[in-house]
Amino acid sequence: MGKRLLGRRAISHLSIRVRKIAHPGKKRRSELRRFPGMFRRWGFLSALFGWLCLVSAALAQTPANEVVSQAMRRGAEAMTAGNFKAAVAAYTSVTLGSPQFAEGYFNLGLALQQADQLDAARAALEKALRLKPGLRGANLFLGVIAYRENRFMDAEASLLLETHVDPRSAKAFMWLGVCRLAEDRPEAAIAPLDKAHELAPSDVDTLYHRGRAYFLVAKDSYAAMFKVDPDSFRVHQVLAESAAEAYRAEEAIAQYETAIQLAPRQSGLHESLGDQYWTSGNLDKAAEAYKTELEIDPSDTMAKFKLGSLEVVHANSAKGVPLLRQALREDPTLRDAHYYLGEGLLDLAQDEEAAHEYQLAIAPDPTDDRAMTSYYRLSQVYKMMHRTDDAHEALANYQRLKAQTQTRQDTRREQIVRKRSQLPVDDPDKFPGPVDN
């Protein structure tokens, strides 16, 4: 029966992805090598970084030789202007005038690297390290040069040294991860790329390579899973998750239902199916899926939260409110639970408690869509409580946020459940007209 459930069309999306990574070595390496712009862009910026960090110290350490000092300044100006030939000439004169000055060789190595004279750059950087073995940045650039020359083992050795010399060097950890990706070792690349991300969380190159490493590890894992058991419920679960991420709710539902046929008592499947039913607007089936999930795992906080929210939506607030309260006791961070608890309490005429829950739903981010809908509900509650000023203020906040989000209407209409703890936000265009306070 299992094999009949997994038809050719059903596995097409996954099998295509699996085939693409079945023999990944050359593809991965060539993809990484397609970024010469990154090397030049980052190499130049790093040269400037090295200059900014070292020149002030270098000038202070330079022998009392005005000619050498002027050459250092000319080299720095040429690097800033992108005139690497002139920078090479200037720093060469520095090394001739002060042959024991390690920073002079370091800057010469940076300039030569930018001029694509890699052999000469390597020689200059090695000379700098002989003169000053702990010179920060030298091993980093030696590693980059080795990488560009496809000497990955040498690159990794140099980059590891740099991480010991400078444990705060985000670029050293990033390049170590890039090197391991080029060696077809994505799992080994994750740790240094995670460290680079920790040190520089906004670096775009690090974000790209870190995402790439996790992507390759995931694909390798899925490929192995498909090879071991192509008709496993896990295969259908992966296909369902992929469809859900691509906003294909009906396809996701079909795959989750197939997975459930193969593993009807597997925790998590019914909750995920319920999410997709909610997304597609079939709230009755969503509620049934969440109930089944709780039968399998009565301690599932998320299923309690979602079922409680749906009970409130279905005007069964007497059933929904206790579920939501229990979910919040188990996980107080469930922001959307506060919103739906406010809806349920409002339905049960517990206005003051409802207002408190709407305030809790607004607090984490008073500027997003959930805050906008909460402000609208809060204005209604305050009106019923005859708190006119508070009602006006809440309504004003709602109208301000709505005006700011008009350009996002298309995105809102396509919204699905993106996180386990996030439910779809009502479209404010469906709300009644302005509340008359």
Banded model confidence at residue 224, pLDDT cuts 50, 70, 90: confident
User: Do the beta carbons of residue 170 and residue 203 sit within 8 Å?
Assistant: yes
What's the mean pLDDT in 370-399?
A: 95
54 vs 117, residue with greater confidence: 117
Q: Cα(35)–Cα(45) distance, rounded to whole angstroms?
A: 15
pLDDT value for 434 = 53
Quick: pLDDT tens for 329-343: 999 999 999 999 999
Quick: pLDDT tens for 168-200: 999 999 999 999 999 999 999 999 999 999 999
Quick: pLDDT tens for 295-312: 999 999 999 999 999 999
pLDDT value for 226 = 83
Minimum mean pLDDT range among 59-63, 121-125, 363-367, 370-374 = 59-63
pLDDT value for 425 = 73
The residue whose two tokens read 């799992």 is 187
**Is residue 390's pLDDT more than 80?**
yes
User: 325-330, long-range: CB within 8 Å, 24+ apart, which pairs?
Assistant: 327/301, 327/302, 330/301, 330/304
The residue whose two tokens read 């929904």 is 320
145-175 burial, b for 16+ CB within 10 Å, e for fewer?
Answer: bbbbeeebebbbebbbbbbebbeebbbbbbb
In Å, how far are 197, 207, 210, 398, 437 from 190, measured between CA atoms? 10, 11, 7, 43, 56
pLDDT value for 316 = 94
The residue whose two tokens read 């008073």 is 366
Highest mean pLDDT pick, 47-51, 57-61, 68-72, 408-412: 68-72
366 vs 411, residue with greater confidence: 366
The domains located in the chain, with CATH, are 28-216 (1.25.40.10), 300-437 (1.25.40.10)
In Å, how far are 157, 261, 353, 355, 398 from 380, measured between CA atoms? 65, 45, 13, 9, 11
User: Do the beta carbons of residue 259 and residue 237 sit within 8 Å?
Assistant: yes
Quick: pLDDT tens for 229-238: 888 999 899 8
User: 21-30, long-range: CB within 8 Å, 24+ apart, which pairs?
Assistant: 21/216, 21/219, 21/220, 21/223, 22/223, 24/184, 24/216, 24/220, 25/184, 28/181, 28/182, 28/184, 28/186, 28/216, 29/182, 29/184
The residue whose two tokens read 């607090």 is 363
Q: Hey, what amino acid is at 369?
A: D
pTM of the model: 0.61
